[in-house]
Amino acid sequence: MVLTEKKENMNLEGILSVTGKPGLFELSARTKAGIIVKDLETGKKSPIHSTHKVSALSDISIYGLSEDKPLEEIYEGLYELKAGKVAEVDFKDVNSLRASLAEVFPEYDEDRVYSSDLKKLFKWYNVLVETKMFEKEEKPAELEDNQKNNKED
């Protein structure tokens, strides 16, 4: 019997962007007045009050001509295209950024995806790769079946 491995999808759940603060954050805890986040690059924790605008990366989509595409799917495509490495892009060259996005999402809406959006998209991707947030866990299929059977008992 051959064991096959199952890859789990990339999960951006709990990864946040906070307006006015550079970088990406991971949700650590909730408080009465807001949330506590951990900076992915520095590891420092800080409070974010409920007055801040917070966006979960799992809720962000890129505008498309026919339909929008979730950021998670864009990042999965980039991760495969770049073989798990950071995206070597020139952040000052908007045409280069647009060409790089077109490699994974050829039908994105150029009129509604601004250059500032592209810069964030690739900077966030690079942060996520550098902090190993994209590394997918692989479980042997047999182990997964055993875990399901144990839950049923």
Q: What phi and psi values does residue 142 have, to the nearest 5 degrees? A: -65, -40
> pLDDT for 121-148, tens place per residue?
999 999 999 998 876 544 444 444 544 4
Is there a contact between 46 and 62 (Cβ–Cβ < 8 Å)? no
The residues near 24 (Cβ < 8 Å, ≥ 6 apart) are: 15, 16, 17, 39, 40, 41, 57, 124, 127, 128
Fill in the amino acid letter for 147: Q
pLDDT tens digits along 71-91: 999 999 999 999 889 999 999
Architecture per CATH, domain 9-136, reads as Orthogonal Bundle (1.10)
